[in-house]
Amino acid sequence: MTCGAVMQFGKLCLVAVAALALAACEAPGSRDDEDAGKSPAENPFPSTYKPYPSQTLLIANATVLDGAGARIENGSVLIEGGKIKAVGADVTAPDGAVTLDARGKWVTPGIIDNHSHLGAYPSPGVDAHGDGNEISGPVTAEVWVEHSVWPQDPGFTRALAGGITSLQILPGSANLFGGRGVTLKNVPARTVQAMKFPGAPYTLKMACGENPKRVYGYGRGTTPGGAPYSRMGNVAGYRDAWIKAADYKKQLDKAESGGGDPPKRDLELETLAGALSGDILVHMHCYRADEMAQILDISNEFGYKVAAFHHAVESYKIADKLAEYGACSSMWADWWGFKMEAYDGIPENIPLVHNAGACAIVHSDSDVGIQRLNQEAAKAWADGKRIGIDVPIEVAWQWLSLNPAKSLGIEKETGSLEPGKMADVVIWSGNPFSSYAKAEKVFIDGAQMFDRNDPALQPVMDFELGHPGEGDRK
């Protein structure tokens, strides 16, 4: 399959190329060079991320949570060539390997936050940095949040110190369709391209409820401000856009099978058509249970799939339906009450969703929360336990790594400590389900990117140089 001319680089080509690449990447980690294989027209902002040098390293004698549900006491993790080579109780160091005695420490996969606005709403939070919401219209599927991400956001380094190794940056929730999200490796870089997770699918941010109707119908000081004014207006807006996208996709499909010219390129419809074909994963901000249920119907009407509901403070009310459909819920441990649609938030939401057999994810949506998602999981885990939902820690860790990886389509590459996967690993000072545990060492693709006890391994962003906080303990 070749796409020779720019005019042919409709969604169709992207779709087909991505499908081939997926089919070809049965072996974990083989996506690394996928971006490089595409032309600028197919993939205009390719990842330039390359893993940093790493050594063959045996992390020994630790309590290991492999992230796939197993806990190994006195276990070891062998990292070789930036990948997980072996995990177990009797792993031996090959010749030339460095052995790190991690007695008393805990080792886990790196945490993946699938809801962050770092870089798009960076620190300092001055007006000039407000790049997270393109509120020019309720449907802005044409924008890509990576074009807003400032890689110098000090928040990335704080997240790294909290054990975050990958994260999804999303546009804000002002719009019905907010634009494309992007999945990043949490490595300091000069450009956002050098952070992009190689081969990760694009995502589409959508939003339910209060935000779109507030920002458009009743926003910006004008009445009428324009649709949507109401939740029914929201739904009409989604359906209207999907109808246009379905038509666009039909033209693309027809052109693909030799039935004529592809339609004129349209950034908005390219993204929406990509969501309809399943290449672009839909991530939907939605608080209320009843609204989520309606979104599931809309997705069936148009034949797309919701990868994850975000915030989802009422997922516990329809956890059975979410399990049946197969949508993840990305949740806070305990945020509630800050707006009407968050009024019914409860601290047991995450364990109740997990207990119903649905996919539970702990997310942050915060440059503060992202620094200790392990503690957010711990709170939810403990609150679940108090009502008789006794989830082993090693299973609950899936809320932090493997489930978010699934929601982002990167679970074959990362999210658990399994041979062949990227060596995205955190060594904790103790049980990470404690207020007192700290991430001591963080590895991304086997390269150590952070060390709590070594200032030389603590990144300092440009913004912080020459400021009173430069290089201080954060």
Partner 1 sequence: MIRRLLLSFAALAVSPFAAAQPIAIYGDTVWTGTSQGTITDGMVVIDNGRIVSVGPASGGAPSGATEVRAQWVTPGLISAFSRTGLSEVSGVDDANDSGAGSSPFSAALNAADGFNPEATAIAVTRLDGFTRLAVAPEAQSALFGGQGFLADTSGLPGSIFRERVFAFVVLGERGASISGGSRPAAWASLRGAFDDVRFFGARYMTHNEGNVLTRMDAQALMPAVKGDQLILFQASRASDLAAIMDFKEQNPSLRVAIVGADEGWMVAGRLAELDIPVIVDAFSNLPSSFSQLAATSENAMRLSQAGVTVAIVNLDNDSHLARLATQIAGNAVANGMDFDDAMRALTTAPAAIFGMTGLGILAPGARADVVAWDGDPLEVTSAPTAVYIDGDAQPMESRQTKLRDRYRTLDERQRPMAFKR
Where on the chain is the footprint of partner 1 (CB under 8 A)?
A: 123-126, 154-155, 158, 210, 316-320, 334-340, 343-348, 352, 356, 366-368, 371-372, 375, 378-379, 381-383, 386-387, 433-438, 463-464, 467-469, 472-474
Measured from the CB atom, the residue of 9 and 106 that comes closer to partner 1 is: 106
In the complex with partner 1, the residue whose CB is nearer, 187 or 378, is 378
Least distance (Å) between residue 174 CB and partner 1: 14
Shortest distance in whole angstroms from residue 448 CB to partner 1: 21
With 0-12 / 13-18 / 19 or more C-beta atoms within 10 angstroms meaning exposed / middle / buried, residue 69 is: middle
Q: What is the dihedral of CA 11, 15, 16, 20, to 10 degrees?
A: 150
CB 377, CB 431: distance < 8 Å: no
Residue 83 vs 310, nearer CB to partner 1 = 310
Q: 50: which 2 tokens? A: 């390359």
CB-nearer residue toward partner 1: 201 or 217: 217
Instruction: Cite the DSSP H helix spans in 278-330.
Output: 289-302, 319-325
Nearest-approach distance from CB 352 to partner 1, in angstroms: 7
Q: What is the DSSP letter of 69?
A: S
Q: If we measure between CA atoms, which residue out of 212, 195, 91, 190 comes closest to residue 145?
A: 195
C-alpha 361/C-alpha 364 separation (Å) is: 10
C-beta of 276 vs 437, nearer to partner 1: 437
C-alpha closest to that of 426 among 373, 389, 382, 352: 373
Kindly state the smallest distance separating residue 22's Cβ from partner 1, in Å.
35
Q: What is the smallest separation between the CB atom of 46 and partner 1, expressed in angstroms?
A: 30
Q: Considering the complex, what minimum distance in angstroms separates the CB of residue 304 from partner 1?
A: 26
**Closest to 382 in 3D by CA, of 430, 336, 333, 431:** 333
Rounded least distance, CB 219 to partner 1, Å: 14
Contact 346, 289 (CB under 8 A): no
Task: Report helix angle 267-277 to 11-24, nearest 10.
Answer: 40
Q: Tell me the DSSP string of 62-77.
A: EEEE-SSS-EEEEEEE
**Shortest Å distance, C-beta 438 to partner 1:** 6
Taking only Cα atoms into account, the Rg of the chain, rounded to an integer number of angstroms, comes to 22
In angstroms, give the least distance from the CB of 356 to partner 1.
7
Helix (H, G, I), strand (E, B) or coil at 42: coil
**325 versus 336: smaller Cβ distance to partner 1:** 336
Q: Where are the beta strands (DSSP E) in 247-338?
A: 281-286, 306-311, 328-331
Comparison of 52 and 336: residue with beta carbon closer to partner 1? 336
Q: Give yes or no for a contact between 284 and 168, defined as CB atoms under 8 angstroms apart.
A: no
In angstroms, the CA 372 to CA 159 distance is 8
Shortest distance, position 336 Cβ to partner 1, whole Å: 6
Residue 317 or 421 having the CB closest to partner 1: 317
45 vs 336 by CB, closer to partner 1: 336
What letter does residue 326 receive in the DSSP assignment? T
In this structure, what token pair is assigned to residue 368? 């503060």
CA 373 and chain centroid, separation: 13
One-character DSSP codes across 215-250 = IIIT-TT-SS--S-SSHHHHHHHHHHHHHHHHHHHH
Nearer Cβ to partner 1 (71/438):
438
| 380 token code pair | 């939810």
**CB of 367 or CB of 424, closer to partner 1:** 367
Taking the complex as a whole, the smallest distance from the CB of residue 321 to partner 1 amounts, in Å, to 9
